[in-house]
Amino acid sequence: MRRGQWLLVGAMLFLGTGSAAAVDGWVLDGGKGASGFGPGNEGTATRLGLTWDWPWQWFEDGDWKLSGQWEVTAGTLMEDDDNNARITEVIEGGVVGMFRLARYRQNAGGPYVELGVGPHYLSDKQLDGVRLATHFQFQSIAGLGSRFGRNGRFEIGYRIMHLSNAGIETPNPGLNYHLLHLAYRY
C-alpha cells in the first residue's frame, strides 16, 4: 500500500475517535464483490472501524428495541486485474449512521437487522477498468446478525454494502459487496 493510502486510513480512524472513552466497540468487515450486480464487483473488500452507540432508543417496552450507532470505517477495495488496469486497489473510508432493530435478552444479546447510509470517500475514481465519476460516494448497508456472549459483547452478521454517488454525476455504475461482519463491544 502506498504511503498516502496509509495516511488516509489513519486519518479516518483518528478523526472518528473523538474521545477514546466514548468508543463503544470496533468492527471488522470483509468479503467478496456481488458479481451479479454489474461490472467491478469481482474483488474483495476489507474494512476496520470504530462504533459509537446513539443515546436514543425507541420502542423499548418489550424484548425488541430500535436504536442506532455511528460507524467510522476505513479499508481497501481490491479487484482482480483482469483488464490489465492501472488501479486494482482503492482505499476507502466513511461514516455511516446505522439504525438497528434488535432483540436483547438479559445479559446475552440476541438477533438484529440493520440499515444505514452515510458519506464515503474513495482514493481513486477507477478500479480495474470500472470508472466512477467522483471520489465522493454514498455508502448504503443492509444487514442481519446476532450478538452473543456475556452482555452481548460479540457480534457476527452478514451485510451487503453498496457504494454509489446517487446520480450526482455520470458514470455511476456503483460497487456492491457481500460482507462478513464481526464486532466487539466494550
One-character DSSP codes across 76-110: EEE---TT--S--EEEEEEEEEEEEEEE-BTTTBE
Rounded to whole angstroms, the Cα distance separating 123 from 88 reads 12
User: Taking 80 as the threshold, does the pLDDT of residue 75 lie above it?
Assistant: yes
In this prediction, residue 142 carries a pLDDT of 97
Residue 137 is placed in which grid cell?
460516494
Q: What local confidence, expressed as pLDDT, does residue 102 receive?
A: 92
| pLDDT, position 107 | 67
In the predicted structure, residue 112 carries a pLDDT above the cut 60: yes
Bridge partner list, 5: none
pLDDT at 186: 87
Of all residues in the chain, what percent carry a pLDDT higher than 70? Answer: 80
Which comes out higher in pLDDT, residue 113 or 125? 113
pLDDT band at residue 181 using 50, 70 and 90 as cut-offs? very high
β-pair partners for 31: 45, 179
**Cα 169 from Cα 181, distance rounded (Å):** 31
What pLDDT, on a 0 to 100 scale, did the predictor assign at position 104?
77
User: What is residue 74's three-state secondary structure?
Assistant: strand
Per-residue pLDDT of 29-56, as tens digits, reads: 999 987 766 655 678 899 999 999 999 8
Instruction: Quote the pTM value.
Output: 0.83
Average pLDDT, the chain: 83
Q: For residue range 135-165, what is the model confidence (pLDDT) as tens digits?
A: 999 999 999 999 998 888 999 999 999 988 8
Residue 27: its pLDDT value, please? 97
% pLDDT > 90, the chain: 48
Query: Range of 138's domain?
Result: 3-18+25-46+54-185
Q: Which pLDDT band, with edges at 50, 70 and 90, does 69 fall under?
A: very high
Do the beta carbons of residue 179 and residue 30 sit within 8 Å?
Answer: yes
Q: Which three cell numbers stand for residue 143?
A: 444487514
**Residue 9, H or E segment:** helix 3-17
Helix (H, G, I), strand (E, B) or coil at 151: helix
CATH of the domain at 39: 2.40.160.20
Under a CB-based contact definition with an 8 Å cutoff, are residues 104 and 65 in contact?
Answer: yes
Give the pLDDT of residue 115.
Answer: 98
Residue 87: pLDDT band (50, 70, 90) is low
Q: How many domains does the chain have?
A: 1
